[in-house]
Amino acid sequence: MIRKATTTSVLLVASLFAASAIAQERPRLILQITVDQLRGDQPTRYYDRLGEGGFRYLWESGIVYRDAHHGHANTETIVGHATLATGAHPSNHGMVANLWFDRETGFTTYNVEDPNFTLLTKGASVDANTEIDPTQRAARSDGRSPAAMLVTTFSDELRSNTGGEAKVVSVSIKDRGAVSMAGHSGTAYWFSKANGEFVTSTYYLDKYPDWVVAFNNAKPTQQFAGTTWQLLHDQDSYLFGDSDDRAWETDVGGFGRVFPHSYGDGSSKYFTTWLTLSPPGDKLVLDFAKQALLEEQLGQDALTDYLSVSFSSTDYVGHVFGPSSLEAEDNILRLDRTLAELFAFVDKEVGLENTLIVLSADHGGPDTPGYLQSLKIPAGYVDPGSWDKAAAIARIKKAFKVEADLIAAYDHPYVYFSDAVKNNPGIDQHALEAAVVDELSKFHGVSLAVSSSALRDGNLPDTDIYRAVVNNFNSKRSGEIFIVFEPNWFINDMEGLTVASTHGSPWRYDTYVPIVFAGAGLAPRTVDRRVHTVDVAVTLSAYMNIKPPSGSAGVPLTEVLAK
């Protein structure tokens, strides 16, 4: 009897101990940071000039994965964000591109547009006259929701696991940077360039919380009126200090190609655009995220909350000036300060020991052809306008006896055949796709064209590039042909806006991103094993002992789980 009691109490103590160990593994807050277009080498490129508490905090106290890549081919913003959020490949989460051709409506669709849920703020929708983001201009409604995301996110699973008690808030300059990470059940806020305020849609809220109204009423953009973007340090100390003015940099609406970049008095129609393509964009997101954490009381009790912060400035700076430019260098040093401010704030309000931080990027990015050429590295801009498409199409139409239009849309990287051709039982689709692949492969700048029927047949070489195209393939949204340009060759004309560089390829500079976990008592470690961005959400799920997102394909990163 006594012996049994002893055994029971030993077991009881053991199980209590185990239970508390599991409970202790749940942090109060999960902070998921996504930096738009932060190629894997960028955080440490200027390491000697980083300050304390930002990137250095992550890299020196966290678990750093040095060979982390996206596993899909179309390395664009929504594709990468959705992958980080869901742990799924685009084939499953459905966000195959920033824009895809919707066969049902016959229109090109912007990933998070949804006419059923209008913006909660009137007058905040995209202004087509000043919007430089061509994907934003393509949206036909100002409504936004995650409806097109076909699977759950980690944040959804956290809400689901806690009966909806866990708070999930997501913030970004870009709507797609916020909507993706909030999942279906969280709340997303993003920045409206039209009115300079943070907004949401009726999908999330019927009415703004008082703190959001107060934040917007304080006119957060006005602090930058009459100021300039100046270098943080002495120009001589910069790697690109003597090459500020490069011919390939873009002057957006008079913002200029050299420091100091003036924001004017705040009256320019490009004022808010300039803020987003320079460090103030990140500063606005930081301030809003801090306020959200305070007002929504994120991380204030034992139930784990989730905050996603997606910083967009690095992407716009990369597009406009290139990732190897004085602007990009200063932007990284300032992003480092922005991160330091965020971590210090979280430490004060929640405690970094109670916060699991994960930082990654939605994609990397190529260097500008001009920069690469100056180093004798082959690179260039692809100009689809120079392709003799008419002759190629005529040859194909003749061979297949097609009268109707052959192509319905080319939303890079996908070519979509017209319904007339696709639904014609008299046309051998395999042969037709093969013929188009043949013609495309002859065009200057095209490295590879992959047909959907080849993907369906599974009869492809087992290479990273083909696997990435497969991972990107969703039968409802992908086109018939996926075009891959030559490495370091890409389109720089984004619907009329000439940019210095564009990501979106399956090549390594575009798939290469940082993945770093820190806080929550993790011990510093560097891991050189190849890992993928689909692993992030799955790792968070495993860390929390909750079920993984519905379409997830990744595996838990065991270094983060080891205690």
Contact set with Zn ion (CB under 5 A): 315
Q: Per residue in 399-428, is it b (16+ CB within 10 Å) or e — as a string?
A: ebebeeebbbbebbbbbbbeeebeebeebe
Q: Which helix (H) or strand (E) holds 34?
A: strand 29-35
Nearer to Zn ion (CB atom), residue 308 or residue 452: 308
CB 386 → Zn ion: shortest distance, Å?
Answer: 24
Nearer to Zn ion (CB atom), residue 299 or residue 369: 369
Kindly report the number of other CB atoms within 10 A of residue 397's CB atom.
15
| CA atoms lying within 13 Å on the CB side of residue 69 | 19
Nearer to Zn ion (CB atom), residue 197 or residue 315: 315
CB 70 → Zn ion: shortest distance, Å?
Answer: 13
* 407-411 sheet: strands from edge to edge: 407-411, 414-417, 481-485, 446-451
CB 140 → Zn ion: shortest distance, Å?
Answer: 21
| CA atoms lying within 13 Å on the CB side of residue 327 | 31
Nearer to Zn ion (CB atom), residue 305 or residue 315: 315
Q: What is the DSSP string of 270-327?
A: THHHHHHTSHHHHHHHHHHHHHHHHHTTTT-SSS-EEEEEEE-HHHHHHHHH-SSSHH
Distance CA 183, CA 168 (A): 9
Nearer to Zn ion (CB atom), residue 175 or residue 315: 315
CB 215 → Zn ion: shortest distance, Å?
Answer: 26
CB 98 → Zn ion: shortest distance, Å?
Answer: 8
3 state DSSP class of 453: helix
CB 503 → Zn ion: shortest distance, Å?
Answer: 6
CB 315 → Zn ion: shortest distance, Å?
Answer: 4
CB 302 → Zn ion: shortest distance, Å?
Answer: 38
| Amino acid of residue 38 | L
CB 195 → Zn ion: shortest distance, Å?
Answer: 23
Nearer to Zn ion (CB atom), residue 292 or residue 332: 332
Distance CA 501, CA 320 (A): 7
Nearer to Zn ion (CB atom), residue 131 or residue 315: 315
| Amino acid of residue 336 | D
CB 533 → Zn ion: shortest distance, Å?
Answer: 16
Nearer to Zn ion (CB atom), residue 244 or residue 362: 362
Nearer to Zn ion (CB atom), residue 134 or residue 266: 134
Alpha carbon 33 to chain centroid distance?
Answer: 10
CB 504 → Zn ion: shortest distance, Å?
Answer: 8
CB 365 → Zn ion: shortest distance, Å?
Answer: 7
Nearer to Zn ion (CB atom), residue 365 or residue 519: 365
CA angle 148, 153, 157 (to 5 degrees): 130
Nearer to Zn ion (CB atom), residue 292 or residue 468: 468
Distance CA 69, CA 554 (A): 12
Distance CA 347, CA 341 (A): 10
Alpha carbon 174 to chain centroid distance?
Answer: 9
Distance CA 418, CA 404 (A): 8
Say which DSSP state 99 is in. Answer: E
Helical H runs in 221-278? Answer: 271-276
Nearer to Zn ion (CB atom), residue 282 or residue 315: 315
CB 109 → Zn ion: shortest distance, Å?
Answer: 18
Whether the CB-CB separation of 467 and 90 falls below 8 Å is answered with no
Residues with Cβ < 8 Å from 394, sequence gap 6 or more? none
**Residues present in the chain in total:** 563
Nearer to Zn ion (CB atom), residue 80 or residue 220: 80
Of all residues in this chain, which one has the CB nearest to Zn ion in the complex?
315
Residues facing 481 on adjacent strands: 415, 451
Cis peptide bond upstream of 413, omega within 30: yes
| Amino acid of residue 385 | G
Residue 42's nearest CA partner among 374, 381, 334 is 334
